[in-house]
């Protein structure tokens, strides 16, 4: 085993994590493995990276609320020797997104953006010569999925032959988990009420990745079918940010998909419980499950910090401009 902390591998050619597997702006399978390896190295030896982003300032743009993402990016930038500036509000309201991108690239070294629409992230990426990171959009949450794959690797000791079941809405978190599982060779089953399945286009993209790794990527409305043999069960809110007006209708339609003790007993013995947080206790899951010994929700939250540091270092190192 090496005694030296790992060095970042440059991400090339597009210095972007848009999360969108349909575009060129995303991590390859080998970059994903490298990002997880570096994250583990940073986690075990954080001080070795305390000057890694020396003098770099990161723009944090948030159109939606955040606790974990905002704080972990701010802490990550500071602990790597850089700094961050926070902007909250609409992106592209006062001026076109392409102008926002070309202003920010003159002042800061990287853009982290939480947006309502994925097209805003894509447009920032297309117009900025600085790296762009998707901090959650309507379609994806790639930073969450990175941290979750790190968490699973730590608890499982590897990915081979493992299965992750996602229960609830086929949403942004489900999409990013599905794409990362496909690239890392983890079987993934999305269990949703009829009408709330993941995007067919993203499912097809995940299956294309899975052809190379052998992962089985499934979508079903059956808890019995989907949970059989699952080594981890993941859920998220039923109504995401921007869908609050649908919350009452969804609560009715999703009721039998609540991740409670009875549902957890349908998965493999010792299956982990996961949630990206924030959670609505007694809706999509129960306090009992969240506080149970198989719950790894705060490991997931901690790993946001290490995974995002790793991603920022790889992007900074692949950014030819700096
Ligand atoms: N999981 C997550 O992204 O949390 P925040 O919305 O608080 O950033
Ligand atoms: N699906 C949720 C995730 C929050 C971290 C949302 O988009 O609101």
Q: Which of 175, 201, 172, 171 is nearest to 188 (CA)?
A: 175
**Over residues 149-154, mean pLDDT:** 98
Indicate the DSSP class of residue 48.
Answer: G
CB 217 within 8 A of CB 182: yes
Task: Write down the CATH number for the domain with range 16-141+304-316.
Answer: 3.40.50.1370
Tell me the residue length of the chain.
Answer: 322
Instruction: Tell me whether residue 302 is exposed, middle or buried, using C-beta atoms within 10 angstroms of its C-beta: 0 to 12, 13 to 18, 19 or more.
Output: middle
Could you give the C-alpha distances from 229 to 14, 26, 153, 163, in angstroms and in order? 38, 30, 18, 7
**Over residues 48-60, mean pLDDT:** 96
d(CA 106, CA 116): 24
What's the pLDDT at 23?
58
The whole-chain average pLDDT of the chain stands at 93
173 lines ligand 2 (CB under 6 A): yes
pLDDT tens-digit map of 232-277: 999 999 999 999 999 999 999 999 999 999 999 999 999 999 999 9
CB 173 within 8 A of CB 140: no
Distance from CA of residue 233 to its chain's centroid? 16
Q: Which ligand is nearest to the CA of 140?
A: 2
How does strand 217-220 pair with strand 163-167? unpaired
Residue nearest (by alpha carbon) to ligand 1 atom 4:
68
Flag whether pLDDT at 25 surpasses 80.
Answer: no
Residue nearest (by alpha carbon) to ligand 2 atom 3:
240
Q: Give the mutation target among 278, 298, 307, 308 for probing the ligand 1 site: most ligand atoms within 8 A of CB.
A: 278
172 lines ligand 2 (CB under 6 A): yes
d(CA 108, CA 259): 42
d(CA 175, CA 198): 7
Phi and psi torsions of 172, nearest 5°: -55, -45
pLDDT band at 4 (very low <50, low <70, confident <90, very high): confident
pLDDT band at 321 (very low <50, low <70, confident <90, very high): very low
pLDDT tens-digit map of 175-211: 999 999 999 999 999 999 999 999 999 999 999 999 9
Catalytic residues: 114, 141, 144, 236, 276, 304
Q: Give the mutation target among 64, 66, 284, 298 for probing the ligand 1 site: most ligand atoms within 8 A of CB.
A: 66
**Over residues 89-94, mean pLDDT:** 95
What's the pLDDT at 22?
55
What's the pLDDT at 26?
79
* CA torsion angle 116 32 16 62 (round to 10): 30
pLDDT band at 153 (very low <50, low <70, confident <90, very high): very high
Domains 16-141+304-316 and 144-300 equal at CATH topology level: yes
DSSP string over 217-258: EEEES-HHHHHTT-SEEEE--SS-TT-GGGHHHHHHHHGGG-
Q: Where are the beta strands (DSSP E) in the chain?
A: 16-17, 57-62, 83-88, 110-114, 132-134, 163-167, 187-191, 217-220, 232-235, 272-275
Q: Where are the domains of the chain?
A: 16-141+304-316, 144-300
pLDDT tens-digit map of 268-320: 999 999 999 999 999 999 999 999 999 999 999 999 999 999 999 999 887 63
CB 154 within 8 A of CB 162: no
Indicate the DSSP class of residue 281.
Answer: B
How does strand 132-134 pair with strand 187-191? unpaired
What's the pLDDT at 9?
74
Element (H or E) spanning 317, and its range? helix 297-318
d(CA 42, CA 50): 10
* Nearest ligand 1 atom, CA 143: 3
* Nearest ligand 1 atom, CA 72: 8
216 lines ligand 1 (CB under 6 A): no
CB 203 within 8 A of CB 218: no
Q: Which CATH number fits domain 144-300: 3.40.50.720, 3.40.50.920, 3.40.50.300, 3.40.50.1370?
A: 3.40.50.1370
143 lines ligand 2 (CB under 6 A): no
Residue nearest (by alpha carbon) to ligand 2 atom 2:
240
């Amino acid at each position: 085993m090496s005694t030296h902390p790992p060095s970042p591998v440059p991400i090339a050619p597009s210095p972007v994590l848009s999360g969108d597997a349909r575009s060129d702006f995303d991590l390859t399978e080998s970059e994903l493995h490298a990002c997880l390896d570096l994250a583990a190295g940073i986690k075990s030896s954080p001080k070795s990276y305390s000057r890694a982003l020396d003098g770099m300032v990161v723009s944090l743009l948030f159109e939606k609320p955040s606790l974990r993402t905002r704080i972990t990016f701010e802490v990550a930038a500071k602990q790597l020797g850089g700094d961050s500036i926070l902007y909250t509000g609409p992106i592209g309201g006062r001026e076109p997104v392409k102008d926002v991108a070309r202003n920010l690239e003159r002042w800061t070294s990287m853009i982290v953006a939480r947006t309502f629409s994925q097209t805003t992230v894509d447009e920032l990426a297309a117009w900025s010569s600085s790296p762009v990171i998707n901090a959650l959009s309507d379609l994806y949450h790639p930073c969450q999925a990175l941290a979750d794959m790190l968490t699973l690797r730590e608890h499982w000791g590897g990915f081979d032959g493992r299965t992750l079941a996602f229960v609830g809405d086929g949403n942004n978190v489900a999409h990013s988990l599905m794409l990362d599982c496909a690239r890392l060779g983890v079987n993934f089953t999305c269990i949703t009420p009829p009408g709330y399945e993941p995007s067919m286009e993203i499912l097809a993209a995940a299956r294309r990745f899975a052809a190379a790794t052998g992962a089985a990527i499934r979508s079903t409305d059956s808890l019995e079918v989907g949970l059989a043999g699952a080594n981890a069960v993941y859920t998220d809110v039923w109504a995401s940010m921007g869908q609050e007006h649908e919350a009452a209708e969804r609560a009715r339609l999703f009721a039998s998909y609540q991740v409670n003790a009875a549902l957890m007993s349908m998965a493999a013995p010792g299956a982990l419980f996961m949630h990206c947080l924030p959670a609505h206790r007694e809706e999509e899951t129960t306090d009992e499950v969240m506080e149970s010994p198989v719950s790894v929700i705060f490991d997931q939250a901690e790993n946001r910090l290490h995974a995002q540091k790793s991603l920022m270092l790889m992007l900074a190192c692949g950014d030819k401009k700096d």
